[in-house]
Amino acid sequence: MLNLERLRTLDALARHGSVSAAADGLHVTTSAVSQQMAKLEREVGQRLLAKNGRGVRLTDAGQLLADHAARILSQVELAQSDIEAQRGQVVGEVRLGAFPTAARGLFPAAVAALRGAHPDLRVRTRELEPELGLRAVIRGDLDLAVVLDWSNKRLPVPGGLTHAQLLDDVPDVAMPAGHPLAGRDEVDLEEFADDEWVSWPEGEFCHDWLVFTLRSKGFEPKIAHLAGEHHTQLALIAAGLGVCVTPRLGRGPVPEGVAFVPVRQRMRRHVYAAWRTDADRRPSIRAAVDALRAAAGSQR
């Protein structure tokens, strides 16, 4: 009989691409990964790993077994979901991830509600950018991720995932209080063609969205500052160092000297939860989605 935990280790190696990354994903040591793989090779009587420079790669036999392992583990999760659904109790552990403003704006209320309603459920949370959150759910490192896309730039949801809308978040343009447009009721983005911009770090989904959107307005943005935290962005705005697009979700305290003006052609961030379809019947997933929806409702 093939050992399930060793198949889980092989699956992690196939998904993460290295022993160290697999160990991180499984929350074990690299030595434990190597030992499990050595035992699995003895069980099947074939080499599953081969040296590849300083790392390793799967052999043909290793890839074949890894493909089976992924299907087996998916069936195991489906079986666990069905057992939990039949029992109907919200117990065990659920691991949630969200991009920073959703973690700040939704997690405190949602996790507190889950703890109050389901004391036997352990909830773990972490911040992750949307694309990384979806990958973590696919890999099995998270049970559910809160992610986003924009009305003019969608984030593809991979096959095998189910998702549910939580809310639409309407951002504003943040600018120094002394900016010539600070007193307006509405603005157009092209009116800021000569301003310096504060943006999210390069490579992040929202940075790509901002550049794409401003270019579609007919100008190349002058991006002077990059900051992942919205509070850092607003501190730069308060110092008179540019303008930025700022969501309303999780905005929190605003530093003095910052003005917000809505955009005439409303931009919207679609915020939604995503989880593996084979875990769809788990009561803990359903409870987490309900708690997130309730927290999102209080934001409207």
**pTM score, whole prediction:** 0.73
How confident is the model over 266-275, as pLDDT tens digits? Answer: 789 999 999 9
pLDDT band at 167 (very low <50, low <70, confident <90, very high): very high
User: Which tokens belong to 293?
Assistant: 């929806």
| Mean per-residue pLDDT over the chain, rounded | 89
- Mean pLDDT score, 145-159: 88
Using the predicted structure, report yes or no on whether residue 220 has a pLDDT greater than 90: yes
DSSP strand pairing (55-58 vs 49-52): antiparallel
Band of pLDDT at residue 265, cut at 50, 70 and 90: confident
Q: Return the pLDDT at 300.
A: 63
> Tens digits of per-residue pLDDT, 15-54?
888 888 888 777 788 898 889 899 999 999 989 988 887 7
Euclidean distance between CA atoms 157 and 27, whole angstroms = 26
Distances (CA, A) of 135 to 83, 100, 131, 182, 239: 26, 17, 6, 40, 37
Instruction: With CA atoms as reference, report the closest residue to 171 among 93, 234, 95.
Output: 234
| Over residues 197-201, mean pLDDT | 96
**H/E run at residue 144:** strand 144-150
**DSSP-derived secondary structure letter, 278:** G
Is the pLDDT score of 146 beyond 70? Answer: yes
Pairing of β 121-127 and β 92-98: parallel
Q: Which of these, 68, 63, 6, lies nearest to 37 by C-alpha position?
A: 6
- Give the separation between CA 84 and CA 39, rounded to whole angstroms: 31
- Counting residues of the chain whose pLDDT is more than 90, the rounded percentage is 54
- pLDDT, residue 91, reads 81
* pLDDT value, residue 159: 80
Dump pLDDT digits (tens) for 236-250. 999 999 999 998 998
pLDDT of 88 over the 80 cut = no
- Structure-block tokens of residue 275: 């989880």
pLDDT at 165 over 80: yes
Q: What's the rounded Cα separation, in Å, for the pair 256 and 99?
A: 25
Q: Using an 8 Å Cβ cutoff, are 14 and 139 in contact? A: no
pLDDT at 81 over 70: no
